[in-house]
C-alpha cells in the first residue's frame, strides 16, 4: 500500500485549515514618508500616497485585525520591481482576541546614486529601484495581503 497517498488528503486538509484561519483577517497597508506612533500602540501614516522619489524613506503601516487568538508569526516584507524580497521584518505576537488590532511599521530606504551624475540625471545609480514595489504581510508563513507603490526618479 502506498502510504504517501494516505498522507496526501490529511496534508490537503491541513493546508485548507491554515488558509481558513487567515481568510477573515482584516489587513490594511498604507505608505507614506512620515508616520506618527501613539503611546497606545497605534501608528498612522501622514500624507498617504503611492508614488515616491528615489531619495525618500518609505514607511509602510500595517494594521491587522480579526486575528485568531494565540501566538502568531507576522512577517512584513518589501518586494522590489524584479520580484526579489529586499527586506523582511519578523515578529511573533500573542493575540488575545479577534477584537485586538495590531499596528506594525517598517521602512525601506535606497542608498545608491552618484552625486556627480545626479546633477545631470537624478536617477543615476537608482535604476534597480525604479518601478512597482510591493509590501506583503505574511501570517504564520501564509501571504494574507500585499499592496503596491511606485518609485520614480
In tens, the pLDDT along 65-75 reads 999 999 999 99
The CATH homologous superfamily to which domain 24-152 belongs is Macroglobulin (MG2) domain (2.60.40.1930)
List the domain boundaries for the chain: 24-152
pLDDT for position 111: 76
Grouping H, G, I as helix, E, B as strand and the rest as coil, residue 41 is: coil
Under the banding of pLDDT at 50, 70 and 90, the label for residue 142 is very high
DSSP characters for 86-98? EEEEEEEEEE--T
Full-model pTM: 0.79
Q: Which residues of 101-113 are buried (b: 16+ CB within 10 A; e: fewer)?
A: ebbbebbbebeeb
Amino acid at each position: 500500500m502506498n502510504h504517501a497517498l494516505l498522507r496526501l488528503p490529511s496534508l490537503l486538509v491541513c493546508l485548507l485549515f491554515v488558509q481558513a484561519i487567515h481568510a477573515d483577517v482584516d489587513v490594511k497597508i498604507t505608505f507614506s514618508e512620515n508616520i506618527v506612533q501613539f503611546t497606545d500602540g497605534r501608528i498612522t501614516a501622514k500624507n498617504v500616497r503611492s508614488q515616491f522619489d528615489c531619495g525618500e524613506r518609505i514607511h509602510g503601516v500595517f494594521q491587522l485585525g480579526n486575528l485568531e487568538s494565540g501566538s502568531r508569526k507576522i512577517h512584513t516584507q518589501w518586494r522590489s520591481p524584479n520580484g526579489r524580497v529586499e527586506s523582511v521584518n519578523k515578529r511573533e505576537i500573542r493575540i488575545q482576541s479577534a477584537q485586538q488590532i495590531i499596528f506594525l511599521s517598517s521602512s525601506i530606504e535606497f542608498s545608491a546614486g552618484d552625486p556627480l551624475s545626479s546633477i545631470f540625471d537624478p536617477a543615476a545609480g537608482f535604476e534597480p529601484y525604479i518601478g512597482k514595489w510591493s509590501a506583503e504581510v505574511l501570517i504564520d508563513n501564509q501571504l494574507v495581503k500585499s499592496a503596491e507603490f511606485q518609485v520614480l526618479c
